Amino acid sequence: MKKIITISREYGAGGHSIGKKVAEILGVPFYDRDIVRETVKASGFDPELIENESEEISRSDSLWKNLASFSGAYYKDTQSAIRDVQAAVILRFAQEGPCVILGRCADEVLREADIDSVNVFIHADDVHRAMRLSALTGSTDATELKKMMEKKDAARHNYYQRYTGKKWGDSHNYHLTLDSGALGDEACVRLIVAAAQDAE
């Protein structure tokens, strides 16, 4: 049974709660922002810098280029260094045993290290995502909800593209992709658990 599962997800598609439930059912650890905190502990980098690096700093190419041009080689090297430490943390988690890892290009980190995993991408249409985010944030402002989704999706898209050279959300990069809006969260949980149990 391949019980290392990586989950990439669109903002508001429920990837966090789906991943958490999968981990509970399989009885394995669930890693999300913990990875960042682990990275901080392991690396000695400035915690604030690492928090920023994660997704926000790579939000847009123009922002990235501006930062790079202002700060010269410093940011570039720091980014690479942070990425290496983050990958090391992900690999340590994977080597400790079965688990569910959310985001952070964990799929690519494990693929490069030739460690078997079931790589999942969860997406949903804008209406399902907006309703979920509205319930989470309390906002009922459609324009604000749309902006939240666009901003976070662009950040994740760029982060994945920068670190893997591949297209975030392209089915070829995952073993399983799921539309949580059409299928529902519970079905997604069941399908991921089934895929993990099916995989040799």
Cα 124 to Cα 16: distance, rounded to the nearest angstrom: 13
- Number of residues lying near a copy of itself (CB under 8 A): 25
- 109-138 positions binding a copy of itself, by CB under 8 A: 118, 121, 123
Give the interface segment with a copy of itself, choosing from 54-62, 67-75, 143-151, 186-194 (CB under 8 A).
Answer: 186-194
SS3 176: strand
The residue type found at 153 is D
88 binds a copy of itself (CB under 8 A): no
Give the interface segment with a copy of itself, choosing from 127-135, 146-154, 157-165, 191-199 (CB under 8 A).
Answer: 191-199
Q: What is the DSSP code (8-state) at residue 7?
A: E
159 binds a copy of itself (CB under 8 A): no
Enumerate residues 6+ apart whose C-beta is below 8 A from 85: 39, 42, 43, 45
Give the interface segment with a copy of itself, choosing from 18-26, 34-42, 84-92, 185-193 (CB under 8 A).
Answer: 185-193
Report in angstroms how near the CB of residue 119 gets to a copy of itself at its nearest: 8
125-164 in b/e form (b: 16+ CB < 10 A) is: eeebbbebbbeeeeeeeeeebeebbeebbbbbbbbbeebb
The residues binding a copy of itself (CB under 8 A) are 118, 121, 123, 169-172, 174-179, 182-184, 186-187, 190-191, 194-195, 198-200
